Structure 1
Amino acid sequence: MSSLTIKDLAKKLNVSPSTVSRALRNHPDISQATQRKVAAAAEKYNYHPNQLAQSLQKKRSNTIGVIVPEIRHHFFSNVISGIEEIAYENGYIIMVCQSNETLARERMNTQALVANQVAGLLIAISSETTAYDHLESVLNQKVPLVQFDRVVESLKTSKVVVDDYHAAYGAVEHLIESGYRRIGHLAGQDGIALNQHRFEGYRDALQDHGLQVEEQFHVHGGYREEDGRAGAETFLAMDVMPEAILAINDPVAVGLFTRFKEAGVRIPEDVALVGFSDTPAAALIEPALTTVYQPAFEMGRMAVSLLLKQFEAGPDFIPETVTLETKLLVRGSSAARRVS
C-alpha cells in the first residue's frame, strides 16, 4: 500500500487537503469535475485513505456494525440494502453479522464489532435474546446503538418498528370478516416484544368480535420454515384443527403451507393462512399467501438515519421511536370461507 498522504495528493493537484478529503467522500459542495479529477489522481498514485488515522481523528471509524438474526431471510436482506444505501451516501461502510437466532452468537458479534471500534451499531435481536447485558454494555461504552424490527423496549435507544399490534389485529379481523371463527396463531418465542404485540393484536381482535382465544390454538415456535412445518404437525395432531392460522412471519407460513399440502389439507378450504412480511415466496405459492407487508427497505434507511442523527447530536441525543406503516395484502390463502 502506498504511503502517500492526503496532503501529498493535494499538493500534486494544487488544491487544499480538505478539498481532496471532501471530493473522496463525494461531498455535494465539491463539483463532479473536481471529484473525478481527485478520484483519477488517487487511482494513479495508488492513494488509499488511512482509516485508522481517520478513526483516531474523528474519535470513531467510518464503519457501522449491523447484526441481524439471518441474512437469508428476505426481510432482513432488504433491511440491509436500505441501511447500506444511506450509509454509503454519507461516507460510511457497513459490516454485517448474523446471530443465527442465538444469543451466544449475538453476544460474540456485538463484542467483536465494538472491539473493532465501529462508529455505531444497528441490531435486530435474536429469538433467544431475553437477556440484554451485552447491549447495556454497548450503551455504557457510549457506542451509539439503534434497534430495528425486533427490539428490547426497555433499552434507551432509538428504535424503528412497525405497529405489530394493529397489523395482527387487522389480519385476524380480515379472517373473521371472511367467515373464519376458530383462528389459531403460530407465534414466536416468549419474551420478545414483537411476539407479544402480535399475540395481543390476535387476542383482542378475537375478543372484540365475541370469539374466544382457544389456548390449544396458540402455538409457540421459531421464525424459520422448519418451525412452520413443526407447528403444522402440532395442529394436525389436534382432534379439531383451527379454521385459519396467523403465522408469525412468511417463512413460518410457508412451512405450514407445505406440510399441510403434504397431509392433504386444502388451503383455504380446510385451513386459511396469513403470514407477515411479504417475502417473494408469498406470491409464488398457490394459492398465494395473504400477508402483512412490512417496509423492510425503508426500515433500514430509517434505522441508519437515526444513527447518523445520533452522531450529530452527540451528548444532546434524545432517543426516538419511529413506527412505520404496514398493509394487509389479501390473496387466495384467506379467501372467504364457504360453509356447506
Structure 2
Amino acid sequence: MKQTPVTIKDIAKALGISPSTVSRALKDHPDISPETKRLVNDLARELNYEPNTIAMSLRSQKTNTIGIIIPEIVHFFFSTVISGIEEVAYNKGYTVMICQSNETYEKEVLDTKALLAHRVDGFLISYSKETTNFDHFDEIKKKNIPMVFFDRVPPVDIQCSTVTINDYDSAKMAVDHLVVEHRKKIAHLAGPQNLTISQERLKGYKDGLKAHNLYFEDDYIQYCGKGDFDEGYRCTTALIQLQNRPDAIFANNDVAAYGAMKALKDNHIKIPEEVAIIGFSNWQFASLTDPQLTTVAQPGIEMGKAAARRLITELESKEDELPPVHQVLKTDLIIRESTQIKKPSK
C-alpha cells in the first residue's frame, strides 16, 4: 500500500503550531526562534518530509529547472560540459533536464518545445550540425526566458550570453606547432561549414599557413561534415593519394583524427615520421591511441560551469534584462607522440 506523503499540516498538528510557522521554520525565516526551527526540522527528517515542488513552482512561477540542449550526450566534450553544468546548478538549488538533438534540426525543435512545455526557467544550448534556421530559439527569447549558448553560437543576432573558446587562435596554435615540428605541407580535415566553430578553425588554419609562408593547395582541405571516424578515414585516404602528399594533418576533431590515423596505418605510412597528426578536443582516448594523439584541449567542465553561472545570474537578477556577456575560455595544446618524432636515446 502506497504511503501518503507527509505535509506541512501534519508537522504543524504534531507540534501544536500553525502550518505557516512550520513553513517559515523550514525556510529558516529570521522571525522563527532557533528552538522552533530545530523541532520542525528534526520532525521533518524523522517523518521523511519532502516539499511539494510542483505546488511551490505554481506559487512562485519558477520550477528551479534548467533545460539543456546538446548535440550528443555520448560525445566526450559535451559529457564534460554537462558535468560542469550540474555541479553549479545543483549547488545553487537547480535541477537540470537534458535533451540531445542527435545532431538533427528536427529533434532540436522538438526538444525546445518539450522543455518549454515543462516550464524550465532557462536554457543552455549548443545547436546541431543540421541547424540553419534559428526561429525556435527566437520563440524562447520572445517568452523572456533566459538562454545561454555554449561552444556552438548561432551566426545570427539573438542577443544572448555565450561561452566559447577562440577556435581561430586554437587552430593557428595547432598549425604553429606543426611548423615547429618542421612540417611544410599541412592538410586540414574541416568540420561542417554551417557551424561557426568549423569556419573559425578553417580560417585559423589558412591564416596560420599564410603567416609562415607555407605551401597550400585546395586539395589539402577535405570537408568532413559528419566529423566521424569513417569520414576521417575516407578523407585521409584521398589526401595520401595526392601526387604532392601532405606531411601533416590537422583534424577538426579527435574522432576524425582517429580515422586519419587508421587510414595512414592501413597504407603503411608511419606516424609521425612521414605524416604527423593533430586533433581537437582531447577526447578520453587521445592518450590511449598508438601513437598517442596530439590535440587542442577544450575546457569542457569549465565551459559548463561558466555557462551555468551566467544563466543563474540572469535568472536571479532583479533587473528586467541583463546585457549579454560573451566569455571566451582558454585552450591548451597537449603535445603527444603523433606529432613528435622520438629522438634516439643516447
Name the residue aligned to 2:160: 157
Name the residue aligned to 1:26: none
Distance 1:81 1:301 in 2: 8
CA displacement 1:183-215 (0-9 Å, x = unmatched):
111111112111111111111110011124321
Q: Tell me which amino acid in the other structure corresponds to 2:195.
A: I
1:195 and 2:201 correspond: no
Q: Which of 214, 217, 221 does residue 218 from structure 1 map onto?
A: 221
Distance 1:36 1:70 in 2: 47
1:322 and 2:322 correspond: no
Q: 2:11 touches 2:22 (CA, 8 Å); kept in 1?
A: no
Q: Which of 58, 72, 81 does residue 70 from structure 1 map onto?
A: 72
Name the residue aligned to 2:177: 174
Number of equivalences? 328
Structure 2: gaps spanning 5 or more residues: none
Q: 1:164 touches 1:197 (CA, 8 Å); kept in 2?
A: yes
1:60 and 2:66 correspond: no
Q: 1:268 touches 1:334 (CA, 8 Å); kept in 2?
A: yes
Q: CA deviation at 1:66?
A: 0.9
Aligned to 2:128, what secondary structure does the other structure show?
coil
Distance 1:234 1:44 in 2: 69
Aligned to 1:333, what secondary structure does the other structure show?
coil
Name the residue aligned to 2:246: 242
Q: Which of 194, 204, 208 does residue 211 from structure 2 map onto?
A: 208
Distance 1:269 1:237 in 2: 18
Name the residue aligned to 1:19: 25
Percent identity between matched residues is 39
Distance 1:191 1:271 in 2: 29
Distance 1:191 1:59 in 2: 37
Distance 2:217 2:43 in 1: 70
* Higher helix content, 1 or 2: 1
Deviates more, 1:76-85 or 1:45-54: 45-54
Name the residue aligned to 2:189: 186
Deviates more, 1:1-10 or 1:251-260: 1-10
Q: Which of 134, 142, 152 does residue 144 from structure 2 map onto?
A: 142
Q: Tell me which amino acid in the other structure corresponds to 2:233.
A: R
Distance 2:288 2:333 in 1: 17
Distance 1:184 1:198 in 2: 13
Q: CA deviation at 1:98?
A: 1.0
Distance 1:80 1:175 in 2: 32
Name the residue aligned to 1:27: none
Cα 1:226–1:316 change in 2 (3 A) is same
Give the number of the structure whose alpha-carbon radius of gyration is greater.
Answer: 2
Q: Which of 232, 257, 260 does residue 261 from structure 2 map onto?
A: 257
RMSD: 2.4
Distance 1:102 1:138 in 2: 19
Name the residue aligned to 2:47: 45
Cα 1:22–1:303 change in 2 (3 A) is farther
Q: Tell me which amino acid in the other structure corresponds to 1:134.
A: H
Q: CA deviation at 1:234?
A: 2.8
Structure 1: gaps spanning 5 or more residues: 24-30
Q: CA deviation at 1:48?
A: 3.1
Q: 1:99 touches 1:126 (CA, 8 Å); kept in 2?
A: yes
Q: Which of 267, 270, 276 does residue 272 from structure 1 map onto?
A: 276
Q: How does the TM-score come out when normalised to structure 2?
A: 0.87
Q: How does the TM-score come out when normalised to structure 1?
A: 0.89
